[in-house]
Amino acid sequence: MVPPAMSSSPPLPIAVLVSGTGTNLQALIDKVHGREAEIVAVGSSQPGVPALRRAELAGVSTAVFARSEYEDRAARDAAIADWLLQRGARLVVLAGYMELLSDVFLQRFPQAVINVHPSLLPAFPGLHAIEQALDYGVKVFGVTVHFVDSGVDTGPVISQRAVELQGATDADAVLQALHPIEHELLAEAVRSFAAGTLRIDPENPRRVLAAG
Ligand code: GRF
């Protein structure tokens, strides 16, 4: 029997930035690492977080870039970019990274930084998105994966999925419902980027083309 065709492209070197628990990082380790992508670096804004342990267990290089160690945010971001580029990263995934990235960073990775956010953007950007949605009284929650620009969760949308949760009152319960969606959409975005099928439309920079 003829074996199934194997993809000839080598895995895309990617980096992941984290600040906390790291379930999205874990999803990338489980779903795409060593396949379509190779996670070559995990950077954290916080020391001692579970996400760092997940990276170490997967044999991925880690580093902590605490804001207090640098003169300002731009200096910290330049140091992160230097490290990720030295490690060969071609895509940077923000997976629960609780810091804004300055332009000095974004210019080093043009159109190659993506983020996962637990709301249907442009609703409820920024911190505490689920709490914002609960306070507003929405019945439909959701997840957005988007390219990162210099605004707060304002970059072009790559993918979104809604989930109806009538009567939700508990942020943790909503997060538990959203997490599997986040993990799936983020892994899918990385696969598409690695395949070269994901890019921003030069004619309309708000629109992401995801050619098959
Ligand atoms: C996720 O809900 C993500 O949408 C938000 O931060 C959370 C990170 O969770 N940006 P985890 O650290 O990946 O578990």
Instruction: Output the pTM of the full model.
Output: 0.94
- pLDDT averaged over every residue in the chain: 95
Give the span between the Cα atoms of 22 and 29, in whole angstroms.
10
Query: What is the model's pLDDT at position 210?
Result: 82
Of 65, 15, 62, 32, nearest in space to 188 by CA: 32
Q: Which protein residue has the closest C-alpha to ligand 1 atom 2?
A: 118
For residues 100-104, average pLDDT = 96
**Ligand 1 center to 95 CA (angstroms):** 6
* Mean pLDDT of all residues in 189-199: 96
pLDDT in tens, 25-42: 999 999 999 999 999 999
**Is 8 a residue whose pLDDT tops 90?**
no
State whether the Cα torsion 17-23-24-29 is positive or negative.
positive
Question: How many angstroms separate the CA atoms of 83 and 81, rounded?
Answer: 5
Q: Is the pLDDT of residue 118 over 50?
A: yes
pLDDT at 212: 58
Q: Compute the distance between CA of residue 123 and CA of residue 125 in angstroms, rounded to an integer.
A: 6
- Give the distance (Å) from ligand 1 centre to CA of residue 85: 24
Residue 5 has pLDDT above 50, yes or no: no
The radius of gyration of the chain's CA atoms, rounded to the nearest angstrom, is: 17
Indicate if the pLDDT at residue 170 is higher than 50: yes
Quickly state the pLDDT bin for 95 (edges 50, 70, 90): very high
The residue with greater pLDDT, 113 or 211, is 113
Q: Which residues does the annotation mark as catalytic?
A: 117
Q: Which two tokens stand for residue 178?
A: 């959203």
Point out the ligand 1 atom lying closest to the alpha carbon of residue 21. 12
47 pLDDT above the threshold of 90: yes
Mean pLDDT computed over 120-131: 98
Beta strands in the chain (DSSP E): 12-18, 37-44, 62-64, 91-94, 113-117, 140-147, 157-164, 198-200, 208-210
Calculate how far, in angstroms, residue 7's C-alpha sits from the geometric centre of ligand 1: 30
- Tell me the per-residue pLDDT of 141-161, one tens digit each, with 9 for 90 and over: 999 999 999 999 999 999 999
In this model, does residue 4 exceed pLDDT 90? no
The confidence band for 7, taking pLDDT boundaries of 50, 70 and 90, is low
For the cut 90, the answer to whether the pLDDT of residue 185 exceeds it is yes
